[in-house]
Structure 1
Amino acid sequence: MRYLAGFKGNMAMFSSSTGYGQFKRLLRHLLFWIAYYLYDGPISSIIEADPLSRIVIAGIAMPVKIAATYFTLYLMTTAYHDKSRPVRFYAYLLASIIFFGFMQRVVSYHLIYPKYYPQALDVPVWYLPKVIIETFGVYSVVAIVVVLHVGKQWYSSQQEKQQLKNDKLEAELKLLKAQIHPHFLFNTLNNLYSLTVTRSEKAPEIVHKLSELLSYMLHDSNKTIVPLQKEIDYIENYITLEKIRYEDRLDVSLNVFNAISHIQIAPLLILPFVENSFKHGFSNDIGKVWVNIDILISDNQLIIKVENSKSQSPSAYTTEALGGIGLANVRKRLELIYKDRYELNIINEETYLVILKIKISENELPGN
Structure 2
Amino acid sequence: MINILDFDLAALKNWMKENGEKEFRAKQVFNWIYNEVWDFYNMNNIPKSTKDKLNSFFYIGIPELLEVYDSEDNNTKKFLYRYKDGSIIECVAMEYTYGNSICVSTQVGCKMGCKFCASTIGGIIRNLTAGEITAQILKTQSIIHKRISNVVLMGSGEPLDNYENVIAFINDINNDYSLNIGQRHITLSTCGIVPKIYDLADLKLQITLAISLHASSDEERKKIMPIANKYNIQELIKACTYYISKTNRRITFEYALVKGINDNEDSARKLGELLKNILCHVNLIPVNTVTENNFKKPSKENIKIFSNILNDFGINNTIRREMGSDINAACGQLRRSYAKSIEKRC
Coarse TM-score class (shorter-chain normalised): under 0.3
- TM-score, normalising length from structure 2? 0.22
- TM-score, normalising length from structure 1? 0.21
Which structure has more relative contact order (CA 8 Å, sep 6+)? It is 2
Larger radius of gyration: 1
